[in-house]
Amino acid sequence: MKTKFIKGTNKKYSIREDGVVFSNYYFNNNGDKVKRKYPLKSRKDKDRIVVQINYGKEKGSKCTKALVKKYFGFFHCKKCNKKTKDNDNNIQYFFCSKCTKEKRRLNSAKFKRNNPEKIKLSRNKYRKDLKDGYISTVLRCTTQDLTPEIIDAKKNHLKLHRELKKQKIK
């Protein structure tokens, strides 16, 4: 596996493709530099793996997945663990595009299942208003393709159809 030095650490730390961070040397009690490569201990912070790195006199914690993305240009998806080179917004959450779409679909289905009255109200409002967007979905075309005359004719048609339904019910 490839390893690269982490910038700003004076070649003290390096990272491997799988996200393991190594310390390449350390200073003993006498102040002598001891060259010994060993992996740093990582800890779990919320839902990410973090390592403690010294930048000169400062200490800081860095996410290993962010370091792999920065130095190797890819990341491992949290869900399917597949190597991904996505350039979408989902890289900040470290999900591949396939898993992001699946997550959005599941969240939408969960919201619909837990809030059926909100969904029903929004659908009724959308149908009741008879806006150009609704007319275009009924006619299965884009709003740019429709002329104002076609939109008005379809609105009148829908209003007439709704009135007839109301009278039949009463």
The CATH number of the domain where 10 resides is what? 3.90.75.20
The stretch 42-47 carries a mean pLDDT of 81
52 in any annotated domain? yes
Q: Does residue 102 belong to any structural domain of this protein?
A: no
Q: Where residue 91 falls among pLDDT bands split at 50, 70, 90?
A: low
Furthest C-alpha separation in the chain: 97
Helix and strand totals (H; E) in the chain: 5, 9
List the domain range (segments joined by +) for residue 29: 3-73
pLDDT band at 151 (very low <50, low <70, confident <90, very high): very high
What mean pLDDT is predicted for residues 94-105?
81
- In total, the chain counts a number of residues equal to 170
Same domain, 10 and 61: yes
> 80-116 burial, b if ≥16 CB within 10 A, otherwise e?
eeeebebeeebbeebbbeebbeeeeeeeeeeeeeeee
* Domain final residue pick, 17, 49, 73: 73
Instruction: Assess if residue 143 is contained within a domain.
Output: yes
pLDDT band at residue 154 using 50, 70 and 90 as cut-offs: very high
Give the model confidence (pLDDT) of 78-88 as tens digits: 788 888 876 65
pLDDT of residue 40: 87
Residue bearing the bigger pLDDT, 165 or 124: 165
